[in-house]
Structure 1
């Protein structure tokens, strides 16, 4: 390690010294003269090596486990750390620090030993592992430091239940869909891992807007929902059920989603003609007078459609006949009316075919036939009544009491009427016997004659009696002397005067 100059005795360092290997040396030196008999003398040289800060601290990690459970409590020891520095004195005094942003803390124990403990709670779903950096720095001049980085893994625990994207899912399914149709596919997410994230699906209770039962199934692995029946919108408008997602953790966690399935209407129902024109086997006929004006009401067709929305929007049309079309129908209300007056060239019977169509795609329709018969006058018109089935009712006690009451009232009314007539006849025979009975005579020209005793009044009406005004005669006595008769509300005459010649339309009061 050292060398000496033989002439001068100067001791020098022959090789680099290392304080950490040997901190002191003992050198023995011999001095010889050059006489014929050399004489020698000895000396001992002690060399102390002065330490310099030439060694950085060393960090050794002793991990307690490969990973840390995410539900570990605060203060849990994660690892043991040993820090060494070969230098001496202040050069060998080391301080340790840990990088920021980690939920861990270094606690010193017996100088060169440290413990890495948990300072904050862990969440594997946020951070599944941490890269921890430990820095050791000595107090030398200049100071030296070393860094060690190691990874801490966070192990999963089943602390998260499966979650659906939405708590309520609304679905729309066409009616008459075949059995086995895919209704929807539900997917739940679980942020856990491995067995804690393995999800199975199951059905919850099913409720409907009606009492009809619903059969659906769910694939426990994929969450796909299938129908086990065909749905009819007219019977069921919607139904609701729940799907539960359960993970494979211990203990297992689960969550639910509510599924509302709305049945969409399809145009699968034909319009139905309502009575009276829908009677099976009945003859649909209507009579109209020959004098009917344009716009005369003939009949009204009513129909319903079991579908909904645009599929149930009905329109009425008349299938074009072979001859001239004398009738029209309201496209929205189904009222059949005449287009014009009848002529001598028109047929007496007009068969009409009414087509009722819905607004679906494709459109469905129903037809009804009506024979419109033209009659000469309103008096010849006959109304055909369609008899409806009558239920036979049992003759109860209440009906018997009602019949007896009606019979009693009728007898009392009849007796009262007979008594009233007898009293009236008695008064007439006793009080007015001095007057002769009046007499009304009808003449061929359409005039009437009123006679009472020796007086007679001639009254004239038009030949069209339906349009003539009523003539009112005195009820008790004929006009006396001086009484006047008014003709046509104008001139007046006394009873002794001769009345003017009777003309058509003259009114006498």
Structure 2
């Protein structure tokens, strides 16, 4: 390099075809570390991109001749390049490189043109050779081919000429063959005389065209022999034939033919390779010395050599031996014996399942060592995978996505790449490329059920585990990790989270409080499941928490009232007969269902033979007529029990005074005594007068009530008519929950709601329990709604099991009366208007419950009395 000067001139050639391409031209034998070119700049990259985008050389030959200097972005020599070892005698020596730039993935093609330097001198295969020439018979001008020298260099540095040392017997002539090879020939200049000089030592020099010129020499010893004046002659000076590669050893290739005009042993020929035949030819071919038949001796490979040239000699057995020469050329025909090769230029990286169509997955290169049709390649992706191949340039392809991916269906793909050539028979190669799909948070959690029903007994322990909700997520890792929470909904203006708590990890629902069925029967808890993806996805489910009733309320006695003392006092005439109604005990239970089913029992009595109590109605009647021997004061202890488990009970004490002269009230529409007996005393007369006065007063009160109703509701048909925009009460947001229940033969409706107004006041009106039959006159409801028809449908469709419906808006209507007593009467009329459909019992407003019993099942119970409530002089009607 120092003798030839500094001639490292690197230039870059750009052209546009299938894509931009860079070519650098360098001389061979550059020192390690020599700069070839600034590849980063030529690719349009910044120095920071070299490291950040991982610029690297993807493919090289067997040795890494080049590397990238990441600090400068330069392509530098990594190992000494011997052009002759790489490309042999080829005129051009091109090293292809692929430069890969990642993030995003790009592939650039780079070519290195390695220029030859004169680093090899011509060489002869044999440094010394012997040439035998017969005396006298060899005419002047006879030609003898000499061994050709070889020079690995090409172009001007290759072999250019031969030179022979000065002598008077021989001269040198250069013969140029069709393929451009120069063959030196020795020409006899004078007649040879063995007796004068038997051996001639000649020096043959081969010269190349480099600067400076390099040379090689070979010593030729010419031995002058005695006369054998005819040498063998071949029919052809050059034999040509074709041979398929991979031919079997022993296969006939060619047969030569030579003749000798001499007789005897001087005319007997032997065939052999010339002295300068290479060892490679001798390994691949053999020649029969007697028949001149050339056969295959080794493995013929088109990819190693496409053409073989060698010389064959025909030598006689005379003295001296004479020989003739011919040239043999064997052209190898390519066979499709190499399968295509699939090379991954860049290994596939995992891709996200939401990658767009056309995303590059891997870079692929295919090649085939065969030529012609045998080297024409096609490539495809087997069906069944969402990938396809897009050509880049030459035999380079990009594996890209052809459809949207879904990791939940396929977490990875084994993509089979099949490459085929066009030979016959066709050669095929397949390669499996594993492509892993990365998860993206594209699936929200899914609960195992659309909603959940949980049943919890009232009075439960706070903090107890109620239920576990479960959700699953089709994603993986963090995208499938689920946290549970309760949405911030409210119940009675209190956050649901105040009542319940959910374990964020396993979805277990806990109660924060102890529940009371009489206050709340149903909670709706909205549980949210959220994954830990980015962004997080969530889904909700409603958990219906039903509170189950427990028998935790003792029956409450409504009548007889014990507000004035612990003992209720009743009076009864001594003239009472068997079956006389003494009093009626009425009790209610705040529980529901069977827990509220009440029974009555006579627990203790002064005289148990005199009284009995009805198990279901609570009516206390005489079992026999009162006798003179019975004590005037009778004490009864009545036990009231519910039907729950455990049984809850209470007692009420009734003090009954037996009095003489106390008239027995009418207990039946049938006459109980004769008219003479009722008029036997003055007391009867006073009672008649009192009754007439009370009746007149009641009639006047009723007339005044009608007049007031007419004044206050002009334009309406009656005081009871319903008005949607009543001035007496407006509350469109009031909610009322009506629950229909059944308990054996008893069917009832529970009306649940808050107090209508603050500071409510309760008024009570009783029908005398002393009368066996009490009822109001039936009047037709004066509402525009067919109340009878609605209730008839409701009664006919009442199920055997409890069911609940909720009205989003219930309007209450008021008669806006002033007199509480009259209001109560109005309420009684309104309630009694549907007497032919339902029987009603209204209990004090503190319980906020109205029990409605079907008349069929409790006719006898309701016939004995009714209890009605009113608030602030208003008569409340619920539109079912």
Find 1:272's aligned residue among 544, 556, 568: 556
- Quote the offset at 1:464 in angstroms: 7.4
Q: Which residue of 2 aligns with 1:333?
A: 617
- Quote the offset at 1:378 in angstroms: 1.9
Task: Tell me, yes or no, if the aligned pair for 2:575 and 2:664 is still in contact at 8 Å.
Answer: no
Find 2:638's aligned residue among 350, 354, 368: 354
Distance verdict in 2 for CA 1:62–1:315, change over 3 Å: farther
Cα RMSD between the aligned structures?
2.7
Q: What is the alpha-carbon distance in structure 2 between the residues aligned to residue 179 and residue 463 of structure 1?
A: 72
Task: Tell me, yes or no, if the aligned pair for 1:277 and 1:368 is still in contact at 8 Å.
Answer: no
- Quote the offset at 1:322 in angstroms: 7.7
Matched, 1:217 2:430: no
Find 2:352's aligned residue among 44, 62, 69: 69
Q: What is the alpha-carbon distance in structure 1 between the residues aligned to residue 436 and residue 494 of structure 2?
A: 56
Find 1:376's aligned residue among 653, 656, 660: 660
Find 1:237's aligned residue among 514, 521, 529: 521
Q: What is the alpha-carbon distance in structure 2 between the residues aligned to residue 344 and residue 109 of structure 1?
A: 127
Q: Which residue of 1 aligns with 2:408?
A: 125
Partner SS for 2:343: strand
Gaps of 5+ in 2: 1-283, 666-674, 682-880
Matched, 1:85 2:371: no
Task: Tell me, yes or no, if the aligned pair for 2:566 and 2:653 is still in contact at 8 Å.
Answer: no
Q: What is the alpha-carbon distance in structure 1 between the residues aligned to residue 676 and residue 473 of structure 2?
A: 103
Matched, 1:249 2:533: yes
Q: What is the alpha-carbon distance in structure 1 between the residues aligned to residue 493 and residue 599 of structure 2?
A: 31
Map residues 94-173 of structure 1 onto 2, 5 A cutoff.
94-173=377-456
- Quote the offset at 1:323 in angstroms: 5.0
Superimposed CA distance per residue, residues 258-291 of structure 1 (whole angstroms, 9 cap, x where no aligned partner): 3332221111111111243433634323222222
Gaps of 5+ in 1: 382-461, 469-509
Q: Which residue of 1 aligns with 2:466?
A: 183
- Quote the offset at 1:347 in angstroms: 4.4
- Quote the offset at 1:83 in angstroms: 1.8
Partner SS for 2:408: coil
- Quote the offset at 1:77 in angstroms: 1.2
Q: What is the alpha-carbon distance in structure 2 between the residues aligned to residue 91 and residue 38 of structure 1?
A: 49
Q: What is the alpha-carbon distance in structure 2 between the residues aligned to residue 40 and residue 74 of structure 1?
A: 75
Q: What is the alpha-carbon distance in structure 2 between the residues aligned to residue 465 and residue 239 of structure 1?
A: 63
Q: Which residue of 1 aligns with 2:308?
A: 25
Q: What is the alpha-carbon distance in structure 2 between the residues aligned to residue 89 and residue 296 of structure 1?
A: 128
Q: TM-score, normalised by structure 2?
A: 0.42
Map residues 335-484 of structure 1 onto 2, 5 A cutoff.
335-344=619-628, 346-378=630-662, 466=679
- Quote the offset at 1:99 in angstroms: 1.2
Partner SS for 2:595: helix
Q: What is the alpha-carbon distance in structure 2 between the residues aligned to residue 62 and residue 124 of structure 1?
A: 26
Task: Tell me, yes or no, if the aligned pair for 2:606 and 2:634 is still in contact at 8 Å.
Answer: no
Distance verdict in 2 for CA 1:361–1:342, change over 3 Å: same
Partner SS for 1:91: helix
Q: TM-score, normalised by structure 1?
A: 0.70
Q: What is the alpha-carbon distance in structure 1 between the residues aligned to residue 680 and residue 652 of structure 2?
A: 41
Superimposed CA distance per residue, residues 205-257 of structure 1 (whole angstroms, 9 cap, x where no aligned partner): 23225879843222222222222221112222223333333222222233333
Q: What is the alpha-carbon distance in structure 2 between the residues aligned to residue 231 and residue 189 of structure 1?
A: 31
Structure with the greater relative contact order (CA < 8 A, sep ≥ 6): 1 or 2?
1
Distance verdict in 2 for CA 1:156–1:184, change over 3 Å: same
Q: State the number of aligned residues.
A: 388
Superimposed CA distance per residue, residues 131-150 of structure 1 (whole angstroms, 9 cap, x where no aligned partner): 11111222111212122122
Partner SS for 2:328: strand
Partner SS for 1:378: coil
